Amino acid sequence: MGAAQPRRAPGSPLPEANPGRSGPGAAGPEPYGPRVPGSLRWPAVPQWRGILVTAAGTVVVDGALWMVAEDTFAALPPAYWAMAVLAVAVDARPYVLANRRASSVVLPSICFTFAIALAWGFLPAVAAQLVAVTVAGVRMRRPVRRVPHLAVQHAGALAGASLVAAATGLRLDPAPHWDDAVLTVAAAAAWIGARYGLAALAAQWRSEGGRPRHHERRGVELFATAALLLLGPVVLAAAQVGLVLVPLVLLALHAVHRMVRSAGEYERAARIDALTGLPNRRSLAAAVAEGSGEGGVRRPQRQLALLLLDLDRFRNVNDALGHPRGDRLLVEVADRLAAAVPTHDLLVRLGGDEFAVLATRVDGPTAARAVAGHLAEVLNRPFHLDGLAVDVSATIGIALRAPAPGGAADPGDAATLLRQAEAAMYDAKQRGDQIAVYGPDAAHHSPERLTLLADLRCALREHPSTFDPPPGSRADRVDPSGVDPSGTDPSDIGSAGVGSAGMGSARMRSAAGAAGPAGPADDGIQLFYQPQIAIATGEVVGVEALLRWQHPRRGLVGAEELIRVAEQTPVMRLLTARVLHEVVAQLAAWQVAGRPVRAAVNVSVRDLHSAEIAERVDGLLRRYGVPASLLQLEITESALMADPHRVLTTITRLDRMGVAISLDDFGTGYSSLQHLRRLPLSEVKIDRSFVLGMVADRGDAAIVRSVIDLAEALRLRVVAEGVEDESTWRMLARVGCHAAQGWFHARPMPADDLLGWLARYRPLRPVPTT
């Protein structure tokens, strides 16, 4: 596979850098399919007509200048005409930095026209400059409307330099003095100030008088401009000595050109994805900061819409076909999207299997959904890799940035817009939809939730705590050099094995033969444990670890809210690593205290999609010397149904390690019997919504009995959640349920309190009633 050709980002200089994209007047389907409500496209102008219009305008203006100052032009020496011809010739190769607009083009002709202005005045200089700008515009294939902008800016710059020269009496001759050099620098400064001042005014005018557009740093551009301007007097001196010396200056111009080109290539490499040739995340940030993809006049009701596309099940392609074909598929996806996105919008690759489109001309959620629907339809056609048809779909999250009052763009940044689009995308995945629009008033991705997620991430990363392993555990036998006698490096397990973000857990302590956490860590994240009771014997058969977070401002945050906030984000893996670390260390402490008990930990589907969780669990069990039979992982039925094949690989490996797997919330996720039969499950947990009403509701009671009968047939244990009264407990005993969990026996409690509760607990056996 050859090197990917870079595709055009809005404002990039050469349209031929985007070979795969169609546009107005191009062959193939119109970008975004049928006209999207709120879209605005400039009328297609054939290239030859644009060239004729631009050339005709230049001829008219130069003709007018000649008529106004005919005597001045007639008296010009041959040196002027030689320098004017060179000015026009060198603008056939203008200097353009990557991702800059027409107003930022550096024309090498300014070397000659600046010198002409200092030697022969403003009118001869601007006449040559207009022709040179026309040549540069044709060469860069600029729209007709852009060339006059560029011409006015350069004419204004020459006027500024000429005013300084006239005010100071500067007139370069073959014998210049030191004061002439100083005045030349002042004239060059006036040229630069007038040029970029007019460019800023034009940008502000295009934004309809609102907030001025963001301008990138112009270090290389200003340096190149200053070098060309100050080279002008040298060219003029050479021309006055002898015209034969003037062409020698082309070598210096070539050196400046190489410098600008190298700087442009470096900047472009930092803004372009190496695999697909699309703009990257940095380009997206710059485009959002500017407020539009291409510029031009924006109507006040128009919005920016960021569409985040996440390819569904792309990892399956890598696993089945290999990473080289996976990369080829990404390139094909990029090509197809590039052909569907119009030139005034920006298509980027964020990384991995994520792409984004910054749509700059939408009127609201309806128009944004229409764009997303077309992009999803574009990807529906199979991709062919070496004769193999590969189906690809994408989940799309949309975030809109509304203009502020008065028509100016809202100053929100790309990070906020991207975070909102990501929240909408995860929301679509969770609900099984393909497209979702971010809404700040929606509970699942409200600003409060985003803030809570950020706080949770900071708590997990910035407040790590350490373990003092309980005496007698394997972790306690690690020597000071850090080498475990078992051959396991604790640094690999305790750090990298649990997450590279510095994850910790509650501090462990030991006293008088008992060990337990020293209390909640500084970040407020702590675990409570709720006992599970065997119904037939009344004995404690295990506990379930339940997460709590004492937020510094919001107070106690429960596990359900934490999971809803973190489950579809990378924070979920950090949270799971934290919980696993605490639970395994606590199991070791209870084991040393002489009260070994099995603990169940909930894990998310995001954790099960990677083999990392099996490695993490194995490392922790080895480090703390905890038998695998004391740890049980609970997966939700909905997580299982989301991607059963990928989940099967992970839980099969855990089962072979001896870690039991429990199916939580059974009855709410529509599991098929085929999956239940194939998965290495040890137990199922009946959802509390059925258990709570089984005494009064015959339907709930029938569901509970059916689940128990099914589990018996599959040789699985059954645990009933939400057992809160004696009647429910006795009914579960009658129908043959194995274990119960709920407030009837015990509420969730900190680890320190559990040992005391176990010491006081006396088994209670139900007496079934007929």
Residue with tokens 């070098």: 227
3-state SS class at 507:
coil
Q: List phi, psi (to 5°) of 517.
A: -65, 150
Residues in a beta bridge with 514: 511
3-state SS class at 7:
coil
Distance from C-alpha of 745 to C-alpha of 762, rounded to nearest angstrom:
11
Burial of 594 (0-12, 13-18, 19+ CB in 10 A): exposed
Distance from C-alpha of 143 to C-alpha of 147, rounded to nearest angstrom:
7
CB 344 within 8 A of CB 283: no
Q: Which residues have C-beta within 8 Å of that of residue 231, sequence separation ≥ 6?
A: 111, 249, 252, 253, 256
Residue with tokens 């985003």: 450
CB 637 within 8 A of CB 605: no
CB 430 within 8 A of CB 572: no
CB 647 within 8 A of CB 635: yes
The 435-437 sheet, strands edge to edge? 346-351, 354-362, 303-311, 394-401, 435-437
Q: Which residues have C-beta within 8 Å of that of residue 254, sequence separation ≥ 6?
A: none
For the chain, the distance separating the N- and C-terminal CA atoms, rounded to the nearest angstrom, is 76
Give one DSSP letter per residue of 263-331, joined into a string. HHHHHHHHHB-TTT--B-HHHHHHHHHHTSSS-S---TT-EEEEEEEEETTHHHHHHHH-HHHHHHHHH
Distance from C-alpha of 637 to C-alpha of 605, rounded to nearest angstrom:
10
Burial 281-317 (b: 16+ CB within 10 A, else e): bebbbbbbbbbbbbbbebeeebbbbbbbbbbbebbeb
Secondary structure letter of residue 481 according to DSSP: T
Distance from C-alpha of 187 to C-alpha of 190, rounded to nearest angstrom:
5
582 annotated active-site = no
Amino acid at 743: W
Candidate list 221, 567, 721, 726, residue with the active-site label = 721
Catalytic sites, residue numbers = 721
